[in-house]
């Protein structure tokens, strides 16, 4: 069965993430040590001991989530002789998960991925003053209807669909007042529920342009190789392997919508029936179940998961 490896985004961070992997496998410990060294920060202490509020800060959460995903990949490789290029047709990631996917496929070094995500997190936080922007989940409306809600709510301010997660789950992002208007308008359009999300900035909308500019500069300074497995990009929901194109799409991704529903549908149309979610949590597995028709889904984030997946793959 054709398989894709998928990598989670922000929101899957929890205190204790990755600790069991590090205790069980030297290969996982090496990944965490390398990330700590690249950042000049004891990120693993924060990941394992908290506090949760500090771990949730964008500049910490992004490299931490990537580190857990790559610790899993490195462990699969070293413990089980796993080779991504022979096991997967595609990789894909949700927002920051694209960096994890690309590092797993060898396009970035682990150290460069960690540094880029630290810069990305800081840039996204700096782009908009705290409290000036917001994001809200709109549940029970499909993408087209939710996008219309955002457009109606904008009233001269920024408000746009930021994540199309499938199954009637769309996240809107923009100026705080506009997002609050979107929540009220969504009620009148038949949304089951709409709620503000506990995020520190309005990601994936035009307000993030200063962060996109910073990422263009940061990405230009790193080596980006052709990935061993094609990426299905958030911005286009189609395959890409050319390094120059990937670099440009990662810049556009900062302000662009995460087209996750279309990404999964694209992979399914290419024959993918099996999805392996790599890293912390199972958020993407839930999304895939809502989007794809009868998918086989594996999640791998703990030593027990590693052992199970090695027997399956």
Q: Quote the Cα angle for 170-102-84, to 5°.
A: 110
C-alpha span between 198 and 179 (Å, rounded): 13
Q: Specify whether 204 is catalytic.
A: yes
If phi over 0 gives left and psi between -120 and 50 gives alpha, with beta otherwise, what is residue 134?
Answer: beta
What does the longest C-alpha to C-alpha distance in the chain come to?
A: 55
Q: Which of 310, 309, 302, 256 is nearest to 25 (CA)?
A: 302
Residue 281: C-alpha distances to residues 95, 112, 161, 193, 301 (Å):
15, 24, 24, 23, 7
User: Which of the following is catalytic: 100, 204, 274, 299?
Assistant: 204
Contact 261, 166 (CB under 8 A): yes
User: Which of the following is catalytic: 95, 194, 274, 299?
Assistant: 95
Number of Cβ atoms within 10 Å of the Cβ of 137? 19
Which residue stretches of 81-223 are H helix?
Answer: 84-87, 97-104, 110-127, 143-154, 176-188, 209-220
Q: Specify whether 94 is catalytic.
A: no
Contact 88, 2 (CB under 8 A): no
C-alpha span between 38 and 63 (Å, rounded): 10
| Structural tokens at position 165 | 């997660």
* Residues noted as catalytic: 95, 204
């Amino acid at each position: 069965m054709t398989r894709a490896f998928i990598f989670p985004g922000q929101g899957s961070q929890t205190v204790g993430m990755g600790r069991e992997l590090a205790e069980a496998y030297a290969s996982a410990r090496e990944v965490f040590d390398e990330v700590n060294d690249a950042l000049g920060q004891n990120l693993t202490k924060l990941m394992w001991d908290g506090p949760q509020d500090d771990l949730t800060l964008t500049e910490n959460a992004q490299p931490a989530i990537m580190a857990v995903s790559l610790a899993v990949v490195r462990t699969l490789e070293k413990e089980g002789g796993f080779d991504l290029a022979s096991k997967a047709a595609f990789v894909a990631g949700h927002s920051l998960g694209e960096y994890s996917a690309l590092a797993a496929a060898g396009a970035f070094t682990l150290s460069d991925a960690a540094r880029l995500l630290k810069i990305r997190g800081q840039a996204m936080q700096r782009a908009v003053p705290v409290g000036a922007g917001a994001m809200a989940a709109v549940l029970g409306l499909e993408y087209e209807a939710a996008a219309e809600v955002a457009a109606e709510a904008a009233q001269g301010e920024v408000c746009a669909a930021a994540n199309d997660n499938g199954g009637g789950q769309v996240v809107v992002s923009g100026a705080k007042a506009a997002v609050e208007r979107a929540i009220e308008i969504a009620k009148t359009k038949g949304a089951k529920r709409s709620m503000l999300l506990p995020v520190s900035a309005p990601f994936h909308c035009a307000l993030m342009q200063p962060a996109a500019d910073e990422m263009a500069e940061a990405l230009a300074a790193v080596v980006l190789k052709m990935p061993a497995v094609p990426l299905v990009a958030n911005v286009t929901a189609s395959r890409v392997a050319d390094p120059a194109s990937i670099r440009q799409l990662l810049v556009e991704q900062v302000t662009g919508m995460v087209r996750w529903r279309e990404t999964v549908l694209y992979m399914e149309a290419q024959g993918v029936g099996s999805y392996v979610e790599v890293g912390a949590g199972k958020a993407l597995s839930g999304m895939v179940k809502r989007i794809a028709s009868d998918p086989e889904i594996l999640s791998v984030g703990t030593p027990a998961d590693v052992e199970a997946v090695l027997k399956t793959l």
